[in-house]
């Protein structure tokens, strides 16, 4: 969601911070700002510039000779207070000596604001973050570290923060609790960010802070410690992704680039994992031996948004191939219903970023109750990867567009690998294992084949783009595909859409069908083909238009997108690809800002 960038060193800071903010634009934001520690001998305190709107608006507002020795910057996604210059970060204390940028939500902000106001403090914004700047400024402590620690002691909620203080010009102090903070290590310079995307052009040596951890950055050194003051010894890691991975690579949008990266991305998630000898796969990171795997009596998958939809696909795969009862549930709801945590249930937490707060909180609740939890994530070293007992990386590479495409597909393929692994440990035959392996190997080429039909899909999108609403339907394996396609269309084009199991259409949603509400139907050639065709008949009888995604032309559909056949269990992976293109080209036809859809953020790190 919000983005943090900070730097201390000898470079020209403002351009560097602006570049970092631009690399975080994909996360979603409504305003931006910078605070600089002025060079020695410069009159006045901290220097700030803030602007509602885009990073380019902030750049236009920067004063001349806007330089310093250290700086922090921020892109804000509104939670407390509407987008405005006043609500943009960084926030200052009453003296103007303290500047704070903050990701997360301070739950007790209202009480803290009331106490500060009662003490005569004039609050100039509507944000929760401003209280933190005042608390740091009012803290009676000798060092900046102690001031920040004292202020955080009065905070309830989540935070990733970076703090400057005019009286301590040689340092930036940062802290994390529930919102990512990454340190970047350079030669006589140090960086901090909420996402490695802001760092990779300058350094690949990074340290990811854990919850309850703080750090002090100076130009030539750093140290990490807990919020209680105990030293920690976080080891640097090397970022695998190149800076070029965060560029558009000749495509007009990141979403278009990432859709077209899927053949290579799927090849990566398969690479080195297919075991031809035993018709299974190698998943060493699960930390789950064969005896433990056979002891699993149920699988519960938790995720949010697209991650939840891949969980639905994963649950079907696990039930079909491993014959273990499995279901998926929104992680955002799970921990609020006092769930029964069964020691024989294997829990899977799914998140592209590995930092999704609702999913991370569900993991922490499960761990508190003694459950075994595995992570299915894309980002190495992320919070969920660290908190879980093991898991799988999906190796999709950096996904910059707010709308998930390649990570959704790679996660679905990762679930196929897991289902095959569990199935072969249990009762799945060698022949079926060999059949699924063959299907997995065909996927990259078949995805490329679907992408070659983009021009026709774009023409279809133009034909349906001005519908007042759209219905998406599918049965069993096809229903999660319909749900994800409906979400994609809403996210990126703002066209209202609903998804239903095709069998449920006659139980109420048929009332919505008319010529202005077309239906997208997922119709694979499986044992439910005739039942799906009966649904198409019901829609046509009520004057509805139909766009089918199928393995062959559908006589009752107005239009059909034909996709290649794979094994029935893997067909959902392929049938989702043209629907990503449909959403993309619908948004393009409607003139939407595809990589920055309104009101949304990439990594949702608040509750």
The residues assigned a catalytic role are 2, 602
Q: Are strands 470-474 and 497-501 parallel, antiparallel or unpaired?
A: parallel
Distance CA 170, CA 176 (A): 21
SS3 379: coil
Q: Using CA atoms of 334, 336, 338, 339 in order, give the dihedral in degrees to the nearest 10.
A: 0
Residue from 124, 221, 220, 232 nearest 175 by CA: 232
Distance CA 373, CA 219 (A): 39
Distance CA 373, CA 381 (A): 16
Distance CA 157, CA 182 (A): 19
Distance CA 224, CA 235 (A): 10
Q: Using CA atoms of 537, 542, 545, 550 in order, give the dihedral in degrees to the nearest 10.
A: -20
SS3 547: strand
SS3 80: coil
Q: List residues bridging with 338 in a β-sheet.
A: none
Residue from 175, 167, 164, 184 nearest 48 by CA: 164
Given the structure tokens 């309830």, which residue do they identify? 156
Output the six-digit token pair for 70: 């250290």
Angle between helix 262-270 and helix 430-451 axes, rounded to 10 deg: 160
Q: Are 105 and 72 in contact (CB under 8 A)?
A: no
Q: Are 94 and 119 in contact (CB under 8 A)?
A: no
H-state helical runs in 452-547: 454-464, 478-493, 529-541
Residue from 95, 88, 56, 90 nearest 70 by CA: 90
Given the structure tokens 């709801």, which residue do they identify? 333
Q: Are 67 and 39 in contact (CB under 8 A)?
A: yes
Output the six-digit token pair for 469: 């609403």
Q: Are 177 and 199 in contact (CB under 8 A)?
A: no
* C-beta neighbour count of 462 within 10 angstroms: 14
Q: Using CA atoms of 239, 242, 248, 250 in order, give the dihedral in degrees to the nearest 10.
A: -170
Q: Are 603 and 356 in contact (CB under 8 A)?
A: yes
Output the six-digit token pair for 183: 């340190």
**How far apart are the two ends of the chain, measured CA to CA in Å?**
11
Q: Are 98 and 164 in contact (CB under 8 A)?
A: yes
Residue from 292, 301, 308 nearest 343 by CA: 292
């Amino acid at each position: 969601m919000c983005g943090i960038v900070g730097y201390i060193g000898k470079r020209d800071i403002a351009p560097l911070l602006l570049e970092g903010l631009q690399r975080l634009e994909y996360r979603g934001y409504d305003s931006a700002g910078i605070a600089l520690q002025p060079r020695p001998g410069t009159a006045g305190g901290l220097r700030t510039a803030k602007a509602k709107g885009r990073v380019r608006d902030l750049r236009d507002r920067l004063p001349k000779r806007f330089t310093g020795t250290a700086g922090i910057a921020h892109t804000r996604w509104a939670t407390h207070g509407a987008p405005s210059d006043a609500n943009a970060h960084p926030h200052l204390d009453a003296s103007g000596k303290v500047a704070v940028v903050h990701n997360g939500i301070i739950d007790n902000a209202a009480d803290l604001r009331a106490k500060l106001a009662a003490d005569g403090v004039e609050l100039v914004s509507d944000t929760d973050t401003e209280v933190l700047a005042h608390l740091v400024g009012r803290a009676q402590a000798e060092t900046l570290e102690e001031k920040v620690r004292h202020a955080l002691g009065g905070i309830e909620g989540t935070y990733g923060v970076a703090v400057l203080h005019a009286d301590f010009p040689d340092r930036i102090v940062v802290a994390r609790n529930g919102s990512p903070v990454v340190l970047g290590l350079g030669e006589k310079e140090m960086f901090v960010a909420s996402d490695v995307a802001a760092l990779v052009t300058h350094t690949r040596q990074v340290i990811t802070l854990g919850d309850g951890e703080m750090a002090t950055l100076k130009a030539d050194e750093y140290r990490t410690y807990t919020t209680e003051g105990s030293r920690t010894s976080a080891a640097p890691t090397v970022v695998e992704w190149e800076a070029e991975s965060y560029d558009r690579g000749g495509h007009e949008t990141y979403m278009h680039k990432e859709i077209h990266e899927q053949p290579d991305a799927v090849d990566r998630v398969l690479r080195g994992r297919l075991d031809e000898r035993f018709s299974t796969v190698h998943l060493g990171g699960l930390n789950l031996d064969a005896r433990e795997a056979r002891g699993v009596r149920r699988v519960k998958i938790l995720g949010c948004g697209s991650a939840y939809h891949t969980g639905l696909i994963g649950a079907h795969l696990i039930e079909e191939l491993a014959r273990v009862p499995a279901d998926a549930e929104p992680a955002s709801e799970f921990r609020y219903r006092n769930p029964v945590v069964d020691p024989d249930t294997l829990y899977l937490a799914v998140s592209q970023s590995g930092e999704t707060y609702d999913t991370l909180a569900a993991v922490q609740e499960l761990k508190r109750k003694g459950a075994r939890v595995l992570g299915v994530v894309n980002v190495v070293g992320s919070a969920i990867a660290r908190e879980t007992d093991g898991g799988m990386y999906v190796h999709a590479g950096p996904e910059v567009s707010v709308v998930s495409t390649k990570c959704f597909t790679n996660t679905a393929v990762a679930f196929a690998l897991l289902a095959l692994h569990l199935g072969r440990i249990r009762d799945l035959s060698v022949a079926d294992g060999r059949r699924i392996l063959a299907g997995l190997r065909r996927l990259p080429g078949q995805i490329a084949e679907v992408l070659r039909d983009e021009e026709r899909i774009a023409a279809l999108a133009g034909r349906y783009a001005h519908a007042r609403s759209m219905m998406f339907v599918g049965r069993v394996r096809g229903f999660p595909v319909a749900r994800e396609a409906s979400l994609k269309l809403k996210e990126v084009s703002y066209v209202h859409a609903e998804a239903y199991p095709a069998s449920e259409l006659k139980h109420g949603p048929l009332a919505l069908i008319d010529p202005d509400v077309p239906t997208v139907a997922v119709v694979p050639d499986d044992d439910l083909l005739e039942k799906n065709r009966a649904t198409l008949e019901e829609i046509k009888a009520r004057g509805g238009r139909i766009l089918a995604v199928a393995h062959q032309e559908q006589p009752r559909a107005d239009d059909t997108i034909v996709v290649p056949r794979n094994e029935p269990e893997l067909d959902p992976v392929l049938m989702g690809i043209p629907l990503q293109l449909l959403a993309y080209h619908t948004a393009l036809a409607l003139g939407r800002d595809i990589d920055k859809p309104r009101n949304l953020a990439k990594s949702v790190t608040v509750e």
